[in-house]
Amino acid sequence: MEKQPVIEVEGVTISRSGERVIEDASFKIIRGDFVGVVGPNGGGKTTLLKAVLGLLPRDSGMIKLLGTPVEQFRDWRRIAYVGQDSINFDQSFPLSVRELVSLGRINGENIGHRLVTEDWRHVDEMLEFMGIADLSEKRIGQLSGGQKQRVFVAKAMVRYPDVLFLDEPVAGVDPETQERFYMKLSNLNAQKGTTIINVSHDLSSVFCRMNRVICVNRKINVADIGDEAGFTTALKKAYGDHFHFVFHEHMCEGLFEDDRPD
């Protein structure tokens, strides 16, 4: 049986400020994929992501989310998005980690009402899953960058969406913390079955943890990570023929291990 696509993009062209940013993009993302979106700065990665989410207009082409044209899509509880600036906020804001994550349980049906016991059970379960239960009563401004990123992913995931979009979630975070963060994403993908689309500059984490790559530099090229020739070709089309990625045997250690404290 053919696996169900959760995202379908066909012939999409996008212009911004009169310049073409994405040209004739076509690809599918299948349920359960863990996809890395890579490419040089200014190549259009964030533009593509926002267009798929219906946040930016396009010149032409078709985009479907979970089988529905994005213009008609309304079931947004099944989609979660963590943007580049998620952790940039007033550090003195008096909100605990548990309270912030609980905001993810609010929707059009319960807005203005108190959360019920079941909501708080899901909040605590997600805090535990993301390895931040011990931080639940801390103020968000007291956390490190890596801890904040996990908090915002927990907030996005606490309603159990089908698809999680992340736009450079660990930019500026040290490599060790990045690895622990990507370990948690791997757990979400493997254990919860969440489809993840992650914009990243870290090609090693993409190669190590993800199963597909979308290379963006105005043109779009897609490859399976296991297809070494296809992966290399897609990277060269995005970064140029001079680009050389060294493949080597590398097991991602600790796929399902607990994080060490930040």
pLDDT digits (tens, 9 = 90+) for 155-190: 988 988 999 999 987 766 677 777 877 888 888 899
**Which pLDDT band, with edges at 50, 70 and 90, does 131 fall under?**
confident
Task: Output the pTM of the full model.
Answer: 0.85
**Which pLDDT band, with edges at 50, 70 and 90, does 112 fall under?**
low
Q: What is the DSSP string of 16-62?
A: ETTEEEEEEEEEEEETT-EEEEE--TTSSHHHHHHHHTTSS--SEEE
Cα angle for residues 166, 162, 104 (degrees, 5° grid): 70
Closest CA to 22 of 12, 7, 36: 12
CB atoms within 10 A of CB 162: 17
Q: pLDDT > 90: what percent of the chain?
A: 49
Q: What whole-number distance in Å separates Cα of residue 189 and Cα of residue 209?
A: 10
Q: CATH number of the domain at 5-239, out of 3.20.140.10, 3.40.1390.10, 3.40.50.300, 3.30.1360.170?
A: 3.40.50.300
The domain locations on the chain are 5-239
State phi, psi for 192 to the nearest 5 degrees.
Answer: -100, -15
CB atoms within 10 A of CB 145: 16
For residue 201, the 8-state DSSP code is S
**Which pLDDT band, with edges at 50, 70 and 90, does 45 fall under?**
very high
Per-residue pLDDT at 111: 66
